[in-house]
């Protein structure tokens, strides 16, 4: 029974990371790749119908955690009180920046909300990464299974840990890079022309940063959390998840060159024993998606025309929410283009 | 026009009545409020987030009023 509940919570958090990951990522690359007002609207419209639906997965995950593991919920929500409140503030700022942006047509108003949107998205990626780092590293529980972490102490992993130490900061940077690539690929998938080209370049640059970061957090995770290795040793099938993550990293790169319209959505969840009560932690979720760059040879040019129609079809299907997203997304990926929505 | 603020007042007043009226119980007859306090979250931290939320909501209220007034100034579309 606990196993089923654990799997439910794990799946919800993983789906949240994948789905909200791309719109957080779109926020991160928003200021980098979209220069004109029209391009920025394109980015916002690509996530417009789905971002709030995606965030419901976080609520669902939190709610399920509360029902199924109340002791864990009580202990972690008071222990991580300060960062959780900050995450709430960032989510509020991000939401209103999307909603308020287009209400006043002014040279101050719009760029201001664009910066709030980009900044809040980037900080959220970093906060979620740091949270993941904390869960993997573990927290010092007292006799009553309670704890409270200050934001930081001395950035070392000793007896007095803070939310931010060198390990959680490293995971935060890796999460930022992951979501940057994730979001850039989403923007490239949903747009065309100059914007698509810049998004794809950002994704490629991010990929090179992601590679050493992934290697580094993998090594550091096993080094600072010995139970991780023990857990994998006891349940070797668990290696499927990190292998999927590696396959995603390679696949994203390999398919960028060859097969048009090939898509890879990979979710890797690896788990380690995180606290004494045996509640296991969900961790790394990497999602990778791909869409080929438009190239100027004859064959590809034919594909491109279809794709632009398809892209427009998706952008117009503005009322697809939540589950609808996956359908639109998948039909787009399977080559049906504008049929989705 | 003058009736516009009243739903907000009614809503907030109702909430305050419910929250204040149930004291000192967190869960009526089962759990007192002082038993529900997180032991490790200090008063300073709670004050910090309270001020943070109040600041956030003040900013939101100002933006809301600004946008609503613009909309009212703009008036309805001509039929």
- What are A121-148's pLDDT values in tens digits? 999 988 888 888 888 877 777 777 777 7
- A144 lies within 8 A of chain B by CB: yes
Give the alpha-carbon dihedral of A59, A61, A67, A69, to 10 degrees.
Answer: -140
Across the interface, do B63 and A96 touch by the CB < 8 Å criterion?
yes
Please report, in angstroms and rounded to a whole number, the separation of the first and last CA atoms in chain A: 38
pLDDT digits (tens, 9 = 90+) for A12-64: 888 888 888 888 888 888 888 887 888 888 888 888 888 888 888 988 888 88
Q: Which residues contact B56 (CB under 8 A, 6 or more apart)?
A: A89, A92
| Min distance B29 CA to chain A CA atoms (Å) | 21
- Of A14, A112, A95, A89, which is closest to residue A47 (Cα–Cα)? A95
- Express each pLDDT in A281-331 by its tens digit: 222 222 223 333 333 333 333 333 333 333 333 332 333 333 333 333 333
Q: What 3-state DSSP class applies to B22? A: coil
A140/chain B closest Cα distance in angstroms: 13
Q: Are strands B31-32 and B25-27 parallel, antiparallel or unpaired?
A: antiparallel
**A79 Cβ under 8 Å from any chain B Cβ:** yes
Instruction: Quick: pLDDT tens for A164-180.
Output: 888 888 888 888 888 88
- CA quadruple A92, A93, A97, A103: dihedral, nearest 10: 70
Residues A186-236 have pLDDT tens digits of 888 888 788 888 888 888 888 888 888 888 888 887 778 777 778 888 888
* Identity of the residue in A74, A82, A100 whose CB atom sits nearest the CB atom of B63: A100
pLDDT at A263 (0 to 100) = 33
A92: closest chain B residue by CA: B56
Distance of CA B29 to the CA centre of its chain: 26
b/e per residue A149-183 (b: at least 16 CB within 10 A): beeeeeeebeeebbbbbebbbbbbbbbbbbbbbbb
Chain B residues with CB-CB distance to A148 below 8 A: 40-42
Of the pLDDT bands very low, low, confident and very high (cuts 50, 70, 90), residue A279 is very low
Nearest CA in chain A to B64: A100
- Residue B67 and residue A85: Cβ atoms within 8 Å? no
Along the 79 residues of chain B, how does pLDDT read in single tens digits?
A: 788 889 999 999 999 999 888 888 888 888 888 777 777 788 888 899 999 999 999 999 999 899 888 888 887 777 6
Q: What is the 3-state secondary structure (H, E, C) of chain A?
A: CHHHHHHHHHHHHHHHHHHHHHHHHHHHHHHHHCCCHHHHHHHHHHHCCCHHHHHHHHHHHHHHHHHHCHHHHHHHHHHCHHHHHHHHHHHHHHHHHHHHHHHCCCCCHHHHHHHHHHHHHHHHHHHHHHHHHHHHHCCCCCCCCCCCCCCECCCCCCCCCCCECHHHHHHHHHHHHHHHHHHHHHHHHHCCHHHHHHHHHHHHHHHHHHHHHHHHHHHHHHHHCHHHHHHHHHCHHHHHHHHHHHHHHHHHHHHHHCCCCCCCCCCCCCEEECCCCCCEEECCCCCCCCCCCCCCCHHHHHHHHHHHHHHHHHHHCCCCCCHHHHHHHHHHHCCCHHHCC
Query: What is residue A159's predicted lDDT score, i.e. its pLDDT?
Result: 67
The reported pLDDT for the residue numbered A256 is 64
- Residue B78 CB partners (closer than 8 Å, separation 6+): none
* CB nearest A146 (choices: B39, B45, B56): B39
**CA angle in degrees (0–180, nearest 5) for A136-A142-A146:** 75
* Min distance A78 CA to chain B CA atoms (Å): 6
CA distance A160 to chain B (A): 15
Q: What is the pLDDT of residues A72-124, one digit of tens each?
A: 888 888 888 888 899 999 999 998 998 888 888 888 888 899 899 989 999 99
Amino acid B44: pLDDT = 85
Q: Would the CB atoms of A89 and B52 count as touching at under 8 Å?
A: yes
Report the predicted TM-score, pTM, of the whole model to 2 decimal places: 0.70
Number of residues that make up chain A? 341
Burial of B2 (0-12, 13-18, 19+ CB in 10 A): exposed
Contacts of B52 in chain A (CB under 8 A): 85, 89
Question: What's the pLDDT score for residue A37?
Answer: 83
ipTM score assigned to the predicted complex: 0.79
CB contact under 8 A, A81 and B56: no
Interface touch A100/B67, C-beta < 8 Å = yes
Judged against a pLDDT cut of 90, whether residue A240 lies above it is answered with no
What per-residue confidence (pLDDT) applies to A158? 67
B67–A103 C-beta distance less than 8 A: yes
Q: Distances from the Cα of A145 to the Cαs of A76, A139, B5, B60, in angstroms?
A: 10, 10, 46, 38
CB pairs under 8 A between A and B: 37
């Amino acid at each position: 029974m606990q196993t089923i509940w654990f799997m439910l919570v794990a799946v919800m958090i993983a789906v949240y990371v994948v789905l909200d990951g791309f719109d957080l990522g779109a926020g991160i690359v928003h200021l980098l790749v979209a220069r004109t007002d029209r391009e920025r609207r394109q980015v916002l419209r690509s996530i417009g119908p789905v971002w709030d639906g995606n965030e419901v997965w976080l609520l669902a995950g939190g709610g399920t955690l509360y029902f199924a593991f109340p002791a864990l919920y009580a202990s972690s929500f008071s222990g991580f009180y300060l960062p959780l409140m900050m995450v709430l503030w960032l989510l509020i700022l991000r939401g209103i920046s999307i909603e308020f942006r287009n209400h006043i047509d002014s040279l101050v108003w719009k760029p201001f909300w664009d910066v709030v949107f980009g900044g809040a998205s980037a900080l959220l990626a970093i906060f979620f990464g740091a949270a993941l780092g904390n869960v993997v590293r573990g927290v010092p529980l007292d006799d009553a299974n309670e704890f409270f972490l200050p934001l930081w102490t001395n950035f070392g992993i000793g007896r007095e840990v803070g939310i931010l130490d060198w390990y959680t900061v490293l995971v935060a940077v890796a999460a930022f890079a992951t979501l940057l690539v994730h979001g850039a690929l989403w923007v490239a998938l949903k747009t065309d022309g100059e914007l698509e080209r810049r998004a794809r370049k950002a994704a490629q640059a991010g990929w090179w940063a992601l590679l050493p970061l992934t290697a580094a957090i993998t090594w550091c995770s096993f080094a600072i959390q010995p139970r991780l290795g023990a857990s994998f040793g006891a349940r070797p099938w668990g290696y499927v998840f990190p292998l999927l993550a590696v396959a995603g990293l390679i696949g994203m790169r390999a398919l960028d060159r060859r097969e048009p319209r090939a898509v890879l959505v990979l979710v890797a969840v690896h788990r380690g024993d995180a606290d004494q009560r045996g509640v296991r932690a969900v961790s790394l979720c990497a999602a990778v998606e791909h869409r080929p760059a438009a190239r100027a040879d004859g064959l590809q040019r034919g594909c491109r025309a279809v794709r632009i129609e398809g892209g427009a079809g998706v952008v117009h299907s503005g009322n697809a929410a939540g589950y609808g997203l996956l359908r639109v997304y998948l039909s787009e990926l399977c080559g049906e283009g504008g049929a989705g929505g | 026009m003058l009736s516009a603020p009243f739903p907000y007042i009614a809503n907030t007043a109702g909430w305050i009545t419910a929250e204040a009226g149930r004291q000192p119980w967190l869960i009526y007859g089962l759990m007192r409020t002082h038993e529900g306090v997180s032991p490790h979250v200090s008063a300073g931290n709670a004050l910090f987030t309270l001020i943070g939320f109040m600041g956030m909501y003040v900013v939101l209220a100002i933006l809301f009023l600004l946008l609503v007034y613009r909309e009212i100034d703009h008036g309805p579309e001509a039929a």
